Amino acid sequence: MSDQKNAGSWKPKTMIVLAMLFAVSGSMLSQEHSKLDNRVQPPLRPVALSLLDLAAKDGLPTDPLVDKLLEGVSKGAKDDQVIFATKRLLDHLQIARKTLGQVSDQELVAAASVLRAKAPIKTLSEVQRALPNRSLAAPFSVLGIMLQQGFPVKEAKQVVIDKSRKLDDKTLLVLGNWIERGIADGFLPRTALMNAERRLNGLSSAK
């Protein structure tokens, strides 16, 4: 809800200023982003291209940003809402990069989902420290899902760390999906977790 309030505060004037700031570098705007097709039109288009160029310059994945832009445009959202949502995603990707260092695009995107779920930034580094020599894409994805579904950060983080030490990526993602389904079906987060664990144990013993 607060996000929507924030989005509302983004006036067209802000957009113009942003566009002018980004337009300083002509080379940034010179490269048309083909993935946007013709679906993103001015005045949104130059701002959108600037955000994509910024991401590319920082070595961040641009696909999730394009996805966000296209979603907003398709849904007929106001330009300032689209920019707000895309800029916030870019911020999260940048923070994730700064915190985690050189990690894969999938790990960055998953880490951004954790930040989107309002986890403190230090959560990322704590998980990274606890799970050395392991891809963090699946653990961060599951953590993001659990936080979005209402798990307290501390508890979700510990569950993800514990499970990531025992399970491979595929099984971990399945567990995350079952937890999400359980909560969506009306179970409390802890009950959904217990049910998912029980189901997983049942599968393991049946194998």
Partner 1 sequence: MSEHDKTENEAINDLIARLRAPVTPRADFADRVMAQVERTEIDEPLTNRVVRDVPRSKYPYGRIGVYALAGACVMAGVMVWRFGAAGSKGSNAALQNYVLEETVAPSVIPVQQGAERVRMVRFEIVAPEASEVSLAGSFNGWQVGATQMARVDTRGTWYVDVPLEVGRHTYMFVIDKVKWVSDPKTTQEVNGDFGESNSVITVSAEDAL
Question: Which residues of the chain form contacts with partner 1 (CB under 8 A)?
Answer: 3, 7, 35, 39, 66-68, 70-77, 81-82, 84-85, 88, 141, 148, 170-171, 173-174, 177, 180-181, 184-186, 203, 207
| Between 123 and 141, CB nearer to partner 1 | 141
In the Cβ-directed half-sphere of 90, how many Cα atoms lie within 13 Å?
23
| Between 28 and 145, CB nearer to partner 1 | 145
In whole angstroms, the minimum distance from the beta carbon of 67 to partner 1 comes to 6
| Between 94 and 148, CB nearer to partner 1 | 148
What gap in Å lies between CA 68 and CA 154, rounded to an integer? 29
| Between 25 and 43, CB nearer to partner 1 | 43
| Between 12 and 20, CB nearer to partner 1 | 12
Long-range contacts: 15-23, Cβ < 8 Å, 24+? 15/43, 15/44, 15/47, 15/79, 15/80, 15/83, 16/43, 18/47, 18/50, 18/83, 19/43, 19/46, 19/47, 19/50, 22/46, 22/47, 22/50, 22/51, 22/53, 22/54, 23/50
Integer CA distances (angstroms), 182 to 151, 177, 179, in order: 13, 9, 5
In whole angstroms, the minimum distance from the beta carbon of 24 to partner 1 comes to 27
Quickly list DSSP for 14-39: HHHHHHHHHHTSHHHHHS--GGGTTT
| Between 81 and 135, CB nearer to partner 1 | 81
What gap in Å lies between CA 19 and CA 9, rounded to an integer? 17
